[in-house]
A and B are shown apart, each in its own frame.
Chain A
Amino acid sequence: MSREEIYEKLNDVFRDVFDDDSITVNDATTSADIDGWDSLEHINLISAVEQEFGIHFGMGQIVSMKNVGEMVDIIASKVK
């Protein structure tokens, strides 16, 4: 799956979770850029992303992701 395809799916997940159709994320997007993305919503986001891509993040990965770019790196490494 290309990064573009991953982003396309990821945008849908973000839009659903934060109920905002105007959201478009990119490599540099962080929690500070999105209304409502706090530590509690992060849990929900991670679980929705896991479901969408049929993957499972490791505990270390969840804690260390700095921005959406890093999330996409991990997704890309897990989906073929």
Chain B
Amino acid sequence: MNNYPFDAEEMLKKSRRMKRDLLADGTKRIHKKIAVLGGSTTHDIIRMMELFLLQQGIEPEFYESEYAQYFEDAMFGNEKLDAFAPDVIYIYTTFRNLRELPEMSMDRAAVKTLEDETYAKFEQMWKHLQEKFHCVIIQNNFEYPAFRLQGNRDASDYRGRVRFAARLNERFADYADTHENFFLHDLNYLSAQFGLDEWLDDAYWNLYKYALSMKAIPVLAFSVTNIIKSLYGKNKKALVLDLDNTLWGGVIGDDGVDGIELGEETAVGETYREFQSYLKEQKSIGVLLAVDSKNDEANALAGLNHPESVLKPEDFVDIRANWDPKSVNFTAIAKDLNIGVDSMVFVDDNPAEREIIRQQVPGAAVPEITENEASSGDTPSVSGPENYIRVLDRAGYFEVTSFSSEDARKSEMYRENAERRKAQASFADYGEYLKSLSMKAQIRPFEPVHYARIAQLTNKSNQFNLTTKRCTEADIETFAEDPETVTLYGRLEDKFGDNGIVSLIIGSEAMTLRDDEETLSRNGGRPAPAGEKALLIDLWLMSCRVLKRGMENAMMDALVSECSRRHIGCIFGYYYPTAKNAMVKDFYDTMGFTKVSEDASGNTVWKFQIPRVYTNKNRYIRVNA
């Protein structure tokens, strides 16, 4: 409902009702604690952030600093903030918070000192917060000032305030670029995009100490919550694209491959080509592209093989061009790629097709692009192919907060998988097929070079995920460094390619207790240590792209071997059901665990007593060779 372009005024006015409706819609949400440390009023910013987060599947709890107390809260702390233990700290500062600014009377050295001191104050604050809370920090950079004393020269003169803001922004960016768990919120771009004169409203500053205009607040909130939802794995994964009047102008079935508008010859053709280039670039950040088109397949392929087509058939992980309802194809694509329909974005110029997807596939993202000039209905819609890029870009579907080399290879990996499926079909015996894959795995404790990918996996995996525990990089680092925590990552390669890191286990050591009647009576009603260590599995997940390859067996073997090394006698596994992880409901059973308990909501506890002689389960993968 509140997708770009959203109605800011409506949201501000009706936020209470919207919040009530969102909370009542039955969505399962993860709970996150967000501290907003403001340099000016933040009340309505938080109100809007709450709406967007609820919509993105996160139920936020907020801490709001007292008016303009961001620095005091960060540096000296207070009991309320300490007890709150935030998952995310958002430092909302603006150009208004730069109390000391360059003056015309200053010499170069004085301006440099001022810049250094201003920057140092911020850096000191970030370091202090990171040390204290080990959580994610999001920091605004600065919008440009409302006026320019020297006019254009303000951007070049060493005393210019435009230049001062730009230099600080560059230093903030440098810090963000070289530090984990620190993210820059680009207020500078956002205010420029919105229009600085519209963004800044002195009346709101003087009346209420808001450092931006009221109507800019939803835009700001949306932008910052995009970072948060991305951190917690709520990004979209795939773009499902229509062809006619979406990737090219015209209808290929009617106009023929020579009749469609695509390429530099016409303005419209050039516009579609630019849109295709934009889509192709999405691949490089790991976005999957698929086609869902009402066309004969031969026509669809002819269009994609058009000499001016930037996108070629091999750029897509799935091409569905037929006369089935688009919702049927859309769902089939989700199934094929093994991702949820709520991770897919449907891009189609035809409002009727968009409506079908909205109704038939709840949860799918359907941006309001339209090829026709006239805008339809009440929702503000952006018309014309020249606006397609903007609509997708501003929607923040694929906000990047971490980038691993695997993201760049994602499309390739999905295609390799398709080849594996073909290979599989030619083997009568599944074991023979697995053998033919020549699989090699590395299974090791977490290592710093992989922290980013590991954290990303905990946030992205939903189906083969026993506890659905989400972790930040900081969490991963903590687990990896704790001697009483067992961490294992598994990386799988085969003859078709490298699947990268695909499986994780995190377990914590615990002492087992005896609480049988005899012990209790002998011990005055208190359980006694049993002298045997146990391992409690807090997280076990595997990427669905390596299902049925026996990787879980290799992980189990490695886990048992690590436990034996640590003199751990038994392993406890936990399964917490979610809307998506039913496939691993009986996973521990297949691994040889015994069910210990089950509660009313279906949470189960499993125990595996490590036998004196354990036989490895893995038969097809060469591990750590």
Residues of chain A contacted by B13 (CB below 8 angstroms): 13, 16-17, 44, 48, 51
B208 CB–A CB distance under 8 Å: yes
**Cβ-defined partner of A47 (8 Å) among B12, B14, B16, B41:** B12
In angstroms, Cα B13 to Cα A17, docked, is 5
Known: A44-B44, A47-B214. A18 touches B16 (CB 8 A): yes
B43 CB–A CB distance under 8 Å: yes
Write the B5-45 contact mask toward A (1 if CB under 8 angstroms, else 0): 00001001110110010000000000000000000010110
Known: A19-B17, A19-B20. A44 touches B203 (CB 8 A): no
Write the A34-72 contact mask toward B (1 if CB under 8 angstroms, else 0): 000000100110011001000000010011000000000
**Cβ-defined partner of B9 (8 Å) among A48, A59, A62, A63:** A48
**Cβ-defined partner of A43 (8 Å) among B17, B20, B206, B210:** B210
Q: How large is the interface on B (under 10, 10 to 19, 20 to 34, 35 or more residues)?
A: 10 to 19
B207 CB–A CB distance under 8 Å: yes
In angstroms, Cα B20 to Cα A40, docked, is 20
Select from chain B the residue with minimum beta-carbon distance to A41: B43
Q: Are B16 and A43 touching (Cβ within 8 A)?
A: no
Q: Chain A's interface: helix, strand, loop or mixed, by majority?
A: helix
Residues of chain B contacted by A40 (CB below 8 angstroms): 41, 43-44
Select from chain B the residue with minimum beta-carbon distance to A52: B13
Q: Are B203 and A43 touching (Cβ within 8 A)?
A: no
Write the B514-529 contact mask toward A (1 if CB under 8 angstroms, else 0): 0000000000000000
In angstroms, Cα B207 to Cα A45, docked, is 14
In angstroms, Cα B208 to Cα A62, docked, is 11
Residues of chain B contacted by A47 (CB below 8 angstroms): 9, 12, 214-215
Give the most central of A40, A44, A63: most B CB within 10 Å: A44
Minimum CB–CB distance for A73 against chain B, Å: 20
Select from chain B the residue with minimum beta-carbon distance to A20: B16
In angstroms, Cα B16 to Cα A48, docked, is 14
| Tally of A-B Cβ pairs under 8 angstroms | 39
**Cβ-defined partner of B16 (8 Å) among A19, A51, A63:** A19
Write the A1-25 contact mask toward B (1 if CB under 8 angstroms, else 0): 0000000000001001111000000
In angstroms, Cα B69 to Cα A59, docked, is 26
Residues of chain B contacted by A51 (CB below 8 angstroms): 9, 13
In angstroms, Cα B15 to Cα A12, docked, is 14
Residues of chain B contacted by A18 (CB below 8 angstroms): 16
Q: Are B9 and A43 touching (Cβ within 8 A)?
A: no
Within 8 A of A (CB), among B521-561: none
In angstroms, Cα B206 to Cα A40, docked, is 14
In angstroms, Cα B204 to Cα A62, docked, is 11
In angstroms, Cα B204 to Cα A40, docked, is 12
Residues of chain A contacted by B16 (CB below 8 angstroms): 17-19
Known: A19-B20, A40-B43. A59 touches B207 (CB 8 A): yes
In angstroms, Cα B41 to Cα A59, docked, is 18
Q: Are B17 and A59 touching (Cβ within 8 A)?
A: no
In angstroms, Cα B15 to Cα A19, docked, is 8
Residues of chain B contacted by A19 (CB below 8 angstroms): 14, 16-17, 20
In angstroms, Cα B13 to Cα A38, docked, is 15
Select from chain A the residue with minimum beta-carbon distance to B208: A43
Residues of chain A contacted by B207 (CB below 8 angstroms): 43, 59, 62-63
In angstroms, Cα B44 to Cα A59, docked, is 19
Residues of chain B contacted by A63 (CB below 8 angstroms): 207
Write the B201-221 contact mask toward A (1 if CB under 8 angstroms, else 0): 001101110100011000000
Minimum CB–CB distance for A5 against chain B, Å: 19
Select from chain A the residue with minimum beta-carbon distance to B14: A16
Minimum CB–CB distance for A65 against chain B, Å: 12
Minimum CB–CB distance for A17 against chain B, Å: 6
Select from chain A the residue with minimum beta-carbon distance to B12: A44
Minimum CB–CB distance for B329 against chain A, Å: 40
In angstroms, Cα B47 to Cα A19, docked, is 14
Known: A19-B20, A59-B207. A43 touches B44 (CB 8 A): yes
In angstroms, Cα B12 to Cα A51, docked, is 11
In angstroms, Cα B214 to Cα A19, docked, is 19
Residues of chain A contacted by B206 (CB below 8 angstroms): 59
In angstroms, Cα B14 to Cα A48, docked, is 10
In angstroms, Cα B204 to Cα A30, docked, is 22
Minimum CB–CB distance for A37 against chain B, Å: 13
Select from chain B the residue with minimum beta-carbon distance to A62: B207
Q: Are B17 and A16 touching (Cβ within 8 A)?
A: yes
Minimum CB–CB distance for B16 against chain A, Å: 3
Residues of chain B contacted by A44 (CB below 8 angstroms): 12-13, 44, 214
Select from chain B the residue with minimum beta-carbon distance to A18: B16
Select from chain A the residue with minimum beta-carbon distance to B210: A43
Minimum CB–CB distance for A38 against chain B, Å: 10
Within 8 A of A (CB), among B334-359: none
Minimum CB–CB distance for A44 against chain B, Å: 6
In angstroms, Cα B203 to Cα A73, docked, is 21
Residues of chain B contacted by A62 (CB below 8 angstroms): 207
Residues of chain A contacted by B12 (CB below 8 angstroms): 44, 47-48
In angstroms, Cα B41 to Cα A17, docked, is 19
Residues of chain B contacted by A59 (CB below 8 angstroms): 203, 206-207
In angstroms, Cα B203 to Cα A59, docked, is 7
Minimum CB–CB distance for B203 against chain A, Å: 5
Select from chain A the residue with minimum beta-carbon distance to B206: A59
Minimum CB–CB distance for B213 against chain A, Å: 9
Within 8 A of A (CB), among B175-206: 203-204, 206
In angstroms, Cα B17 to Cα A40, docked, is 18
Residues of chain B contacted by A13 (CB below 8 angstroms): 13
Q: Are B14 and A43 touching (Cβ within 8 A)?
A: no
Residues of chain B contacted by A16 (CB below 8 angstroms): 13-14, 17
In angstroms, Cα B13 to Cα A11, docked, is 13
18 A–B contacts, CB within 8 A, in A order = A16-B17, A17-B13, A17-B16, A18-B16, A19-B14, A19-B20, A43-B204, A43-B208, A43-B210, A43-B214, A44-B12, A44-B13, A44-B44, A47-B214, A47-B215, A51-B13, A59-B206, A63-B207
Which residues of A approach B to under 8 Å, CB–CB? Answer: 13, 16-19, 40, 43-44, 47-48, 51, 59, 62-63
Query: A17-B13, A48-B9, A63-B207 known; 12 other A-B pairs, CB under 8 Å?
Result: A13-B13, A19-B16, A19-B20, A40-B44, A43-B44, A44-B13, A47-B9, A47-B12, A47-B215, A48-B13, A51-B13, A62-B207
